[in-house]
């Protein structure tokens, strides 16, 4: 039997309502998903080092992370919906004129702007902060423009980090002396000057005779303090034009540059031995250090660091062996 028109109408309405419910549920699910993704993205931005601001297409603030709150002096709630220029107030360092709004610029050009370091941020409360900042257009998944993203940081902090990284790249982390890479660069510079001005140079290879015994009996922490103390003593034995490097472990290398004669190095060798032998007190313990010093001559033994180091190393081991032989004969 055929269904009545009324029954067909009821069936169609039920199907339509069910479809609407499915669409509504799907839309709610999508909105919830997008909300969760946005919350996750915002949470992640709180963990980056830079300050981050987001705007809508009208250049009004829609988001700022914790770093941006700290640097601008505005909370997220206070900044929400405000024009960017009232929260992120930037002037040019040189002219002290108000700088063009970066958000407007990147949205108009659809092109990111790289880091600039000629800006001063007018912090809420009246102070000024030198910053580096960058901006980019903010696009949705379809590529449609939805706003702008600005990141910035304290340029003084950036400069400090850069300087620190440069220092770490050239210096031994324990003693603060030049590392092997930086020492090699200093050698190249010094040797070029020595050739030009017909000067002499001497390479000293220094090794602590009894360091293993000190390490084993007093412990590695005291051993580290002894190495740092010896590094300071070595620096006190040379001129500012000379270079001291921790070659590795308890081995040190010294470049005596700009010498009129190789014999000038002998006084430095004596000074190194005497300085190392002075009583050293670390954490309630006394230690007496002895060093063996080998030398190689520039340009007689070689004109490169690769050529001079083996000569100085071999000479140091001969000195160490001779010292042990003499000490064994002196024992009762």
- 96 domain residue, yes or no: yes
Contact 47, 66 (CB under 8 A): no
pLDDT at 269: 95
Question: Beta-carbon neighbour count of residue 45 at 10 Å?
Answer: 20
Contact 203, 309 (CB under 8 A): yes
- Could you tell me the sign of the dihedral formed by the alpha carbons of 304, 307, 308, 313, in that order? positive
pLDDT digits (tens, 9 = 90+) for 186-203: 999 999 999 999 999 999
Same domain, 181 and 325: yes
Paired tokens of 27 = 């839309």
Name beta bridge partners: 245.
Answer: 178, 253
Rounded to whole angstroms, the Cα distance separating 91 from 60 reads 19
Rounded to whole angstroms, the Cα distance separating 35 from 175 reads 52
Same domain, 237 and 206: yes
Contact 271, 237 (CB under 8 A): yes
Domain-ending residue, one of 160, 193, 209? 160
Angle at which helix 264-277 crosses helix 220-235, to 10 degrees, equals 150
Same domain, 90 and 224: no
Contact 204, 253 (CB under 8 A): yes
- 284 domain residue, yes or no: yes
Hey, which of 87-101, 146-160, 231-245 has the most confident mean pLDDT?
231-245
Confidence band, pLDDT 50/70/90 cuts, at residue 24: low
Same domain, 142 and 262: no
Look up the CATH number of the domain holding residue 50: 3.30.450.20
Same domain, 221 and 266: yes
- 14 domain residue, yes or no: no
Phi, psi of 53 (to 5 degrees): -125, 140
Same domain, 134 and 200: no
Same domain, 148 and 191: no
Query: Active-site residue among 56, 133, 207, 250?
Result: 250
- 323 domain residue, yes or no: yes
Same domain, 141 and 192: no
Q: How many domains does the chain have?
A: 2
| Whether residue 133 lies in the annotated active site | no
Look up the CATH number of the domain holding residue 241: 3.30.70.270
pLDDT digits (tens, 9 = 90+) for 69-99: 989 999 989 999 999 999 999 998 888 899 8
Same domain, 124 and 233: no
- 2 domain residue, yes or no: no
Contact 199, 257 (CB under 8 A): yes
Q: Which residue has the higher pLDDT, 178 or 46?
A: 178
Question: Do the strands 251-259 and 145-154 form a parallel or antiparallel pair, or are they unpaired?
Answer: unpaired
- pTM as predicted: 0.58
Contact 177, 83 (CB under 8 A): no
pLDDT digits (tens, 9 = 90+) for 221-238: 888 888 998 999 999 999
Residue 323, domain extent: 171-330
């Amino acid at each position: 039997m055929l269904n009545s028109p009324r029954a067909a109408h009821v069936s169609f309405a039920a199907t339509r309502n069910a479809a609407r419910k499915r669409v509504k549920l799907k839309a709610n699910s999508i909105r919830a998903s997008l909300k969760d993704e946005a919350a996750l993205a915002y949470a992640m931005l709180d963990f980056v080092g830079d300050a981050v601001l987001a705007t809508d297409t009208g250049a009004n603030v829609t988001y700022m992370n914790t770093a941006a709150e700290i640097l601008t002096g505005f909370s997220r709630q206070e900044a929400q919906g405000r024009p960017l220029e009232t929260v992120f107030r930037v002037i040019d360092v040189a002219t002290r004129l108000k700088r063009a709004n970066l958000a407007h610029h990147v949205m108009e050009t659809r092109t990111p702007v790289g880091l600039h370091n000629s800006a001063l941020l007018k912090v809420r409360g009246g102070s000024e902060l030198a910053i580096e900042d960058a901006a980019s257009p903010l696009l949705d998944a379809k590529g449609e423009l939805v706003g702008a993203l600005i990141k910035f940081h304290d340029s003084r902090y950036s400069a400090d980090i850069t300087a620190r990284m440069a220092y770490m790249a050239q210096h031994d982390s324990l003693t603060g002396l030049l590392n092997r890479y930086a020492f090699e660069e200093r050698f190249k510079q010094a040797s070029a000057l020595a050739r030009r001005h017909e000067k002499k140079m001497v390479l000293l290879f220094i090794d602590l005779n009894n360091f293993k015994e000190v390490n084993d009996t007093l412990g590695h922490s005291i051993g580290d303090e002894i190495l740092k103390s010896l590094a300071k003593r070595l620096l006190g034995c040379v001129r500012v034009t000379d270079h001291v490097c921790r070659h590795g472990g308890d081995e040190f290398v010294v470049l005596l540059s700009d010498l009129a004669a190789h014999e000038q190095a002998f006084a430095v060798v004596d000074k190194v031995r005497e300085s190392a032998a002075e009583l050293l007190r670390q954490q309630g313990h006394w230690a007496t250090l002895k060093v063996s010093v080998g030398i190689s001559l520039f340009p007689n033994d070689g004109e490169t660091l690769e050529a001079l180091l083996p000569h100085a190393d071999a000479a140091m081991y001969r000195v160490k062996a001779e010292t042990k032989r003499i000490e064994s004969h002196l024992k009762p």
